[in-house]
Structure 1
Amino acid sequence: MSTGKVVLGTVAGLAVGGILGILFAPEKGSVTRQQILDKGNDYADDLKSKYNGIAETLKEKFQAVKNDAENIAQSGKAKFDEVKNEINRPAANY
Protein backbone atom coordinates (compact mmCIF):
# COMPACT_ATOMS: atom_id res chain seq x y z
CA MET A 1 0.00 0.00 0.00
CA SER A 2 1.43 3.38 -0.92
CA THR A 3 2.25 6.01 1.66
CA GLY A 4 -0.17 8.47 0.06
CA LYS A 5 -3.07 6.06 0.48
CA VAL A 6 -2.16 5.41 4.11
CA VAL A 7 -1.97 9.14 4.87
CA LEU A 8 -5.24 9.83 3.05
CA GLY A 9 -6.98 6.97 4.87
CA THR A 10 -5.67 8.18 8.22
CA VAL A 11 -6.80 11.77 7.59
CA ALA A 12 -10.21 10.60 6.39
CA GLY A 13 -10.60 8.35 9.45
CA LEU A 14 -9.66 11.17 11.79
CA ALA A 15 -12.12 13.51 10.08
CA VAL A 16 -14.99 11.03 10.26
CA GLY A 17 -14.20 10.15 13.87
CA GLY A 18 -13.98 13.78 14.88
CA ILE A 19 -17.25 14.68 13.18
CA LEU A 20 -19.10 11.69 14.66
CA GLY A 21 -17.73 12.52 18.11
CA ILE A 22 -18.96 16.08 17.82
CA LEU A 23 -22.36 15.11 16.40
CA PHE A 24 -23.09 12.73 19.28
CA ALA A 25 -21.87 15.16 21.95
CA PRO A 26 -24.64 16.81 24.01
CA GLU A 27 -24.17 20.39 22.76
CA LYS A 28 -26.45 23.00 21.22
CA GLY A 29 -26.70 22.90 17.42
CA SER A 30 -24.86 26.21 16.96
CA VAL A 31 -22.01 25.04 19.17
CA THR A 32 -21.81 21.71 17.34
CA ARG A 33 -21.75 23.44 13.94
CA GLN A 34 -18.95 25.73 15.11
CA GLN A 35 -16.98 22.76 16.41
CA ILE A 36 -17.41 20.95 13.08
CA LEU A 37 -16.26 24.06 11.23
CA ASP A 38 -13.23 24.42 13.53
CA LYS A 39 -12.28 20.75 13.11
CA GLY A 40 -12.70 21.03 9.33
CA ASN A 41 -10.43 24.05 9.27
CA ASP A 42 -7.86 22.23 11.41
CA TYR A 43 -7.89 19.25 9.04
CA ALA A 44 -7.66 21.52 6.00
CA ASP A 45 -4.67 23.33 7.49
CA ASP A 46 -3.00 20.02 8.34
CA LEU A 47 -3.59 18.72 4.82
CA LYS A 48 -2.20 21.94 3.28
CA SER A 49 0.87 21.65 5.44
CA LYS A 50 1.48 18.05 4.39
CA TYR A 51 0.86 18.93 0.74
CA ASN A 52 3.33 21.81 0.92
CA GLY A 53 5.91 19.54 2.54
CA ILE A 54 5.50 16.93 -0.18
CA ALA A 55 5.60 19.58 -2.92
CA GLU A 56 8.81 21.05 -1.47
CA THR A 57 10.42 17.60 -1.25
CA LEU A 58 9.51 16.87 -4.86
CA LYS A 59 10.85 20.26 -5.94
CA GLU A 60 14.16 19.58 -4.18
CA LYS A 61 14.45 16.11 -5.72
CA PHE A 62 13.64 17.47 -9.18
CA GLN A 63 16.32 20.14 -8.78
CA ALA A 64 18.86 17.52 -7.67
CA VAL A 65 18.08 15.34 -10.69
CA LYS A 66 18.30 18.38 -12.96
CA ASN A 67 21.70 19.29 -11.51
CA ASP A 68 22.92 15.71 -11.94
CA ALA A 69 21.75 15.69 -15.55
CA GLU A 70 23.53 18.98 -16.24
CA ASN A 71 26.74 17.62 -14.68
CA ILE A 72 26.52 14.46 -16.77
CA ALA A 73 25.90 16.50 -19.92
CA GLN A 74 28.88 18.75 -19.18
CA SER A 75 31.07 15.75 -18.46
CA GLY A 76 29.95 14.10 -21.69
CA LYS A 77 30.62 17.26 -23.67
CA ALA A 78 34.09 17.58 -22.14
CA LYS A 79 34.85 13.94 -22.97
CA PHE A 80 33.52 14.45 -26.52
CA ASP A 81 35.73 17.53 -26.99
CA GLU A 82 38.71 15.58 -25.62
CA VAL A 83 38.15 12.68 -28.03
CA LYS A 84 37.56 15.11 -30.89
CA ASN A 85 40.87 16.84 -30.16
CA GLU A 86 42.66 13.47 -29.97
CA ILE A 87 41.29 12.54 -33.39
CA ASN A 88 42.16 15.90 -34.95
CA ARG A 89 45.68 16.03 -33.47
CA PRO A 90 47.11 13.08 -35.46
CA ALA A 91 45.44 14.36 -38.62
CA ALA A 92 47.16 17.71 -38.21
CA ASN A 93 50.56 16.03 -37.89
CA TYR A 94 50.38 14.49 -41.40
Structure 2
Amino acid sequence: MKAGKMILGILSGAAAGAAVGMLFAPKKGADTRKRIADRSNEYMYETKSKFNDLADNLSHRYDSVKSKMRNKSKKMEASLDGDDKIIY
Protein backbone atom coordinates (compact mmCIF):
# COMPACT_ATOMS: atom_id res chain seq x y z
CA MET A 1 0.00 0.00 0.00
CA LYS A 2 2.92 2.37 0.52
CA ALA A 3 3.71 2.37 -3.19
CA GLY A 4 0.08 3.23 -3.97
CA LYS A 5 0.15 6.15 -1.56
CA MET A 6 3.42 7.33 -3.03
CA ILE A 7 2.07 7.21 -6.58
CA LEU A 8 -1.10 9.01 -5.48
CA GLY A 9 1.04 11.70 -3.81
CA ILE A 10 3.17 12.15 -6.91
CA LEU A 11 0.11 12.39 -9.16
CA SER A 12 -1.57 14.84 -6.79
CA GLY A 13 1.56 16.98 -6.67
CA ALA A 14 1.88 16.93 -10.44
CA ALA A 15 -1.77 17.92 -10.83
CA ALA A 16 -1.40 20.74 -8.31
CA GLY A 17 1.77 21.95 -10.03
CA ALA A 18 0.07 21.89 -13.42
CA ALA A 19 -2.90 23.80 -12.05
CA VAL A 20 -0.68 26.47 -10.47
CA GLY A 21 1.36 26.70 -13.66
CA MET A 22 -1.76 27.23 -15.71
CA LEU A 23 -3.01 29.89 -13.30
CA PHE A 24 0.14 31.91 -13.92
CA ALA A 25 0.02 31.36 -17.67
CA PRO A 26 -0.46 34.43 -19.88
CA LYS A 27 -4.00 33.47 -20.97
CA LYS A 28 -7.42 34.71 -20.01
CA GLY A 29 -8.70 33.48 -16.68
CA ALA A 30 -11.80 31.93 -18.23
CA ASP A 31 -9.68 29.96 -20.72
CA THR A 32 -7.35 28.82 -17.99
CA ARG A 33 -10.19 27.71 -15.72
CA LYS A 34 -11.79 25.82 -18.62
CA ARG A 35 -8.49 24.04 -19.32
CA ILE A 36 -8.14 23.14 -15.63
CA ALA A 37 -11.70 21.80 -15.52
CA ASP A 38 -11.22 19.83 -18.75
CA ARG A 39 -7.94 18.32 -17.57
CA SER A 40 -9.34 17.42 -14.16
CA ASN A 41 -12.32 15.71 -15.83
CA GLU A 42 -9.92 13.78 -18.09
CA TYR A 43 -7.84 12.68 -15.09
CA MET A 44 -10.94 11.66 -13.14
CA TYR A 45 -12.23 9.62 -16.10
CA GLU A 46 -8.85 7.91 -16.52
CA THR A 47 -8.60 7.22 -12.80
CA LYS A 48 -12.11 5.75 -12.66
CA SER A 49 -11.38 3.65 -15.72
CA LYS A 50 -8.15 2.30 -14.24
CA PHE A 51 -9.84 1.62 -10.91
CA ASN A 52 -12.68 -0.25 -12.62
CA ASP A 53 -10.15 -2.29 -14.62
CA LEU A 54 -8.29 -3.13 -11.43
CA ALA A 55 -11.52 -4.09 -9.65
CA ASP A 56 -12.57 -6.31 -12.56
CA ASN A 57 -9.14 -7.94 -12.66
CA LEU A 58 -9.21 -8.64 -8.92
CA SER A 59 -12.74 -9.98 -9.17
CA HIS A 60 -11.75 -12.38 -11.95
CA ARG A 61 -8.71 -13.54 -10.01
CA TYR A 62 -10.81 -14.07 -6.90
CA ASP A 63 -13.37 -16.09 -8.86
CA SER A 64 -10.58 -18.15 -10.43
CA VAL A 65 -8.97 -18.96 -7.09
CA LYS A 66 -12.37 -19.72 -5.57
CA SER A 67 -13.17 -22.13 -8.42
CA LYS A 68 -9.79 -23.85 -8.12
CA MET A 69 -10.24 -24.27 -4.38
CA ARG A 70 -13.71 -25.77 -4.86
CA ASN A 71 -12.33 -28.24 -7.39
CA LYS A 72 -9.48 -29.22 -5.06
CA SER A 73 -11.93 -29.57 -2.20
CA LYS A 74 -14.16 -31.86 -4.27
CA LYS A 75 -11.16 -33.97 -5.29
CA MET A 76 -10.05 -34.27 -1.67
CA GLU A 77 -13.56 -35.29 -0.60
CA ALA A 78 -13.69 -37.89 -3.36
CA SER A 79 -10.32 -39.30 -2.36
CA LEU A 80 -11.36 -39.43 1.30
CA ASP A 81 -14.62 -41.15 0.40
CA GLY A 82 -12.60 -43.73 -1.51
CA ASP A 83 -10.35 -44.35 1.52
CA ASP A 84 -13.39 -45.18 3.68
CA LYS A 85 -14.12 -48.22 1.50
CA ILE A 86 -10.87 -49.98 2.34
CA ILE A 87 -11.52 -53.36 3.93
CA TYR A 88 -9.07 -54.61 6.55
Settle same-fold status: TM greater than 0.5: yes
Which residue number in structure 1 is paired with residue 76 of structure 2? 76
Q: 1:30 maps to what in 2?
A: 30
Cα distance in 1 for residues equivalent to 2:61 and 2:34 = 41
Correspondence 1:2-13 to 2 at 5 A: 2-13=2-13
Gaps of 5+ in 2: none
Unaligned runs of 5+ in 1: none
> TM-score, with normalisation over the residues of structure 2?
0.85
Matched, 1:65 2:65: yes
Q: C-alpha deviations, 1:20-66, integer Å up to 9, x for none? A: 11111011111111011011101101211220121122112201210
Question: Residue 9 of structure 2 aligns to which amino acid in structure 1?
Answer: G
Report what 2:41 is aligned to.
41
Looking at structure 1, the residues matched to 70 and 37 of structure 2 have their Cα atoms a distance apart, in angstroms, of 49
> TM-score scaled by structure 1?
0.81
Using the TM superposition, give the Cα deviation of residue 2 of structure 1 relative to its aligned residue in structure 2, in angstroms.
2.9
> How many residue pairs get matched?
88
Greater RCO (CA < 8 Å, at least 6 residues apart): 1
Tell me, in whole angstroms, the C-alpha distance in 1 between the residues paired with 2:14 and 2:59.
Answer: 29
Question: 2:11 corresponds to which letter in structure 1?
Answer: V
